[in-house]
């Protein structure tokens, strides 16, 4: 099982995952040689602290501030974290609406919270589109 598959299954709760598109990576090749190749880019799965530092270094953005800003807008992020669909697009990716990067972390199942958190570990994902929109998507690990 790859690191990404294990992460998406909820088996790596202390790690974070970062997707960087090929286009964005050409400008910021910080993680290009360390991740798993996916359609349209690379996903890196690493220890939480190391991952947050890598995300900040590669994007110039604090990951928790990014997540907080993206949380207010829901969109569709691919189940393998390799891009998604910008909520400001017509549903199709194009030069105006291409996902540049995604930051993701997993949260352990918590029956006390209820909702999807009672159903299993939850994957939280936050994306940035070329149009400037930041958005979020979350799901129960293994359900997509």
- C-alpha dihedral sign at 34, 40, 45, 48: positive
Q: Where are the alpha helices (DSSP H) in 15-143?
A: 22-27, 48-59, 63-70, 116-119
DSSP count for the chain of H helices, then E strands: 5, 8
Phi, psi of 14 (to 5 degrees): -90, 0
Q: What is the pLDDT of residue 124?
A: 98
| Residue pair 73/134 in contact by the 8 Å Cβ criterion | yes
**CA 32 – CA 39 distance, rounded (Å):** 14
What are the residue ranges spanned by the domains of the chain?
3-140
Written as tens digits, the pLDDT of the chain (144 aa) is 799 999 999 999 999 999 999 888 765 555 556 788 888 888 999 999 998 998 888 888 999 999 999 999 999 999 999 999 999 998 766 678 999 999 999 999 999 999 999 999 999 999 999 999 999 999 999 988
């Amino acid at each position: 099982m790859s690191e990404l598959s294990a992460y998406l299954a909820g088996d790596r709760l202390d790690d974070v995952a970062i997707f960087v598109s090929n286009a964005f990576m050409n400008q910021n090749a910080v993680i290009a040689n360390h991740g798993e190749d996916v359609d349209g880019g690379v996903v890196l799965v690493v220890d939480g602290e190391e991952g947050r530092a890598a995300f900040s270094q590669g994007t110039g953005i604090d990951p928790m501030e990014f997540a907080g800003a993206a949380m207010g807008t829901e969109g569709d992020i691919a189940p393998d974290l390799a891009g998604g669909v910008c909520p400001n697009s017509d549903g199709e990716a194009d030069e105006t609406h291409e996902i540049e990067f995604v930051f993701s972390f997993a949260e352990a199942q918590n029956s006390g919270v209820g909702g999807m958190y009672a159903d299993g570990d939850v994957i939280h994902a936050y994306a940035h589109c070329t149009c400037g929109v930041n958005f979020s998507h979350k799901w129960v690990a293994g359900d997509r």
